Amino acid sequence: MKLSLRNAKRQFNEYALFFVTLTCAVASMYAFNALLFSDTVKALPDMELLPYLIVAASLLIILILGWTVSYMINYMLKKRSREFSVYMVSGIPNRKICTLMFYENSLIGLLAFVPGIILGMLFSQILEAVLLNMFGLPYILHFSFSLPAVGLTFLYFVIMLVYSIRKNGKRIRRVQLRDMLYYDRLNEKASVSGGISVILIFSLSILAGCVGFLLIYFQPVRKGYDVLAGIVLLLVFLLGFFISVPAFLAARFGNRIDWKYRNYRLVPFRGFTAKINSTSTVMGILSILFMLAITFGGIGSTIGLMVTKNVEAGAFDIMILHKGELRDFSAQGYSYGIYTSGRTDFLAVHDRTAAEAGRTTHRAYAEFQHDTCMAQSDYLKLRELLGYKRLEIDPALCYVHCVPALEENIRTLIEHQDNLECAGYSFAADGVFSESFSQVNDYGNGAGYIIIVPDSAAGQLEVVYGVYAAVTEKPLSPSDLQSITTAFDGLVQLDRSSAKSTPSGAPTIFMHEEMDYLSGKWADKTEFHYLYSMLICLFYLALIMEIIGAAILATQVLGDWQKRQRQERILRQLGMDARLVSRLNNRQLSQIFLFPLIPAILLSICFVSICAKKILMSFFLLPIVPDILWIVQSLSIAFVLFLLLYGIYYAAARMS
């Protein structure tokens, strides 16, 4: 124990990266575990899925972190191989050396646990603030310490640490003195030769990658099995790529004297071939981690943007609906009606636009099988309620308010169809408006569009449902919404996840015709509770995977520090300028950090693009903004978050 304490003090600089990685891992695990026991989160509605997702993600992370810690302990074993050789020569048995390593790494791990919890407390406050913001609730900074979260994090941490230390302990028990003495000097051989086997592995990996993308894109099996199989095949592609390509490059350029000795290529090329096995195997694993980190971040960003945009499009904070008749809900706010003329002129445009955007043309609900209408006076009052620009409209003409995706096609219809009319009134030539007007979700002011008719015409039309709309002074919490539904008999929250059949065959969300249904911006927020849970876990996985990958990569670089110092000394003695030596080092460092990143970026761009496109197509019947803009925004957020943390590790490795 005395020797372990002394070694831990002496080797602390060598353990610095290991210490920082464990601290970040503990902080992340505590922050997400704290959500499980947070009273604030428990008060949010329908978040029962969140604990299960966090526990599942944590179990996956324990496996990955266990492998990471095992790798970093093996790195320390390699750096200290001569020290352990002295112990073996001195007569200390391998079993005692294993115990020594166990004490040292456990001590470093426990030292990392305390600052990790402190950092995790800050991180948990950030997560809680983000989660409350998703529900439109204010956040108040407060001190929060969860003993159950500490206990659960400690359990995960101990399992991870014991697993990794025992795994390396088995290696130490079997090692011979000669192998230990030269452990840090061994150059690595390629895992495959540079002949036919390389071409075969590369060809099979390319085939696996193509089949994986086809499965993800077309999804012939459905139910998620094809996506899972596609992801596995993409991971196989990355492993095959990094096993075959480095070996091919070493064999292809190793014998080309004219290439190898030109432009100072020999130094980085020799460093590459000396560690070719690490380059092929570990780099493949790192590329997988980076691809998954960027992909999870991109998909999480897509979900976050999608929910935010959907809520913004809601426009009205509170809406109450009643099927089949007009009702005066309250003296405050504004009550009006949604009508139908029985025609389908604009419905045909809607369906054609949806088909052009790759969406389904099937109208889901019974209330939207025909064009929907609104009285001009109601429309002007609602615009005033939302603070929009006041319009001067002709009381003898019809107008249309629609989502931006329909605006151009509706204008074309009005311009080119001369006999177009609604309830006997023709349409204004320049009478199409497209501000946010609660038209993205069905059961608002029309499903994507609504016709604005003269007041005299509205009285002749059939009432689809009555509506009450209001804009609140402050955001409403889920408990506020619950209080509203509790205070009024016959009022329930609109649930778009359940419906019943009608005689026409089309479903309706109005389960009971005598009931009133609460909807609106703040009610819509609470409907996305399952998406919030997914978003949190996706960013959890992305963060941990990036920390793991970047830490291992930095470990690879710092593991060659002493060898590189000797190399620099020899180069300077041979007459190479010190600035050129530094430039070669920086170039080699950049190449090491870029090598696993470039394939990961290319694959994640394709993967996120496909997944984001399919998510948006299933969520929005009409695109609110162009799909490519969603994808670019999602990838930009994922790349910024990824490169920010990746740059920190790169800067640390470069300074070291």
Domain ranges across the chain: 1-186, 317-519
Q: Which tens digit of pLDDT belongs to each residue from 467-505? A: 999 998 887 877 788 888 888 888 998 888 788 888 878
What per-residue confidence (pLDDT) applies to 274?
Answer: 62
- Gap between the Cα atoms of 399 and 427, Å rounded: 6
168 half-sphere exposure, CB direction, 13 A CA radius: 26
pLDDT for the residue 186: 56
Kindly report, residue by residue over 402-416, the tens digit of the pLDDT. Answer: 999 999 999 999 999
Determine what percent of the chain falls in helix, strand and coil, rounding each to the nearest 5: 65, 10, 25
More confident residue, 192 or 411: 411
Distances (CA, A) of 229 to 209, 212, 225, 378, 607: 11, 7, 6, 53, 13
Whether the CB-CB separation of 552 and 71 falls below 8 Å is answered with yes
Q: Length of the chain in residues, anyone? A: 656
The Cα 24–Cα 558 span in angstroms is: 19
Q: What percent of the chain has pLDDT over 90?
A: 24
At 276 the pLDDT is 59
Would you state the structure tokens that stand for residue 173, as one six-digit string? 């028990």
What integer is the mean pLDDT of 293-316? Answer: 88
Residues 6+ apart with CB under 8 A from 288: 235, 238, 239, 600
One-letter amino acid at 234 equals L
Q: Can you tell me the distance from the alpha carbon of 26 to that of 154, in angstroms, rounded to the nearest whole number?
A: 8
Which of 392, 402, 403, 395 lies closest to 376, judged by CA?
Answer: 395
Helix (H) or strand (E) holding 630: helix 627-655
Question: What is the structure's pLDDT at 383?
Answer: 94
Q: Do residues 403 and 440 lie in contact, with contact meaning Cβ atoms separated by under 8 Å?
A: yes
Q: 3-class DSSP state for residue 605?
A: helix
The single-letter code of the amino acid at 173 is R
Stretch 551-558: mean pLDDT, rounded?
Answer: 78
Query: Which one has a higher pLDDT value, 484 or 73?
Result: 484
Q: How far is residue 444 from each of residues 319, 326, 374, 527, 557, measured CA to CA in Å?
A: 8, 15, 12, 15, 58
pLDDT band at residue 575, thresholds of 50, 70 and 90?
confident
User: Which range among 6-10, 62-66, 551-555, 632-636 has the greatest average pLDDT?
Assistant: 632-636
The stretch 607-613 carries a mean pLDDT of 89
What was the pLDDT predicted at 630?
Answer: 85
Residue 209, both tokens: 């990658």
Selection from 625, 629, 615 nearest residue 299 by Cα: 615
The residue among 76 and 292 whose pLDDT is bigger is 292
| Mean pLDDT across the chain | 83
Mean pLDDT for the stretch of residues 305-314 = 83
CA within 13 Å, CB half, 53 = 19
For residue 196, what pLDDT is reported?
Answer: 66
Tell whether the model's pLDDT for residue 190 goes beyond 60: no
Reported as a single tens digit per residue, the pLDDT across 16-32 is: 777 887 888 888 888 88
* Residue type at 548 in one-letter notation: I
pLDDT digits (tens, 9 = 90+) for 108-127: 888 888 899 999 898 888 88
Phi then psi for residue 264, to 5 deg, are 60, 35
Between 142 and 512, residue with greater pLDDT: 512
Measure the CA–CA gap between 463 and 374, rounded to whole angstroms: 10
Tell me the mean pLDDT in the region 303-311. Answer: 84
**Position 284 confidence tier, pLDDT thresholds 50, 70, 90:** confident
pLDDT confidence of residue 278? 54
Bridge-based pairing of strands 372-375 and 449-453 is parallel
- Say which residue, 339 or 329, is predicted with more confidence: 339
**Of 280-284, 565-569, 593-597, 623-627, which one has max mean pLDDT?**
593-597
Cβ proximity of 420 and 427 under 8 Å: yes
- What is residue 283's predicted lDDT score, i.e. its pLDDT? 82
What residues contact 632, with CB distance under 8 A and at least 6 apart?
A: none
User: Which of 93-107, 199-213, 242-256, 376-390 bottoms out in mean pLDDT, i.e. has the lowest?
Assistant: 242-256
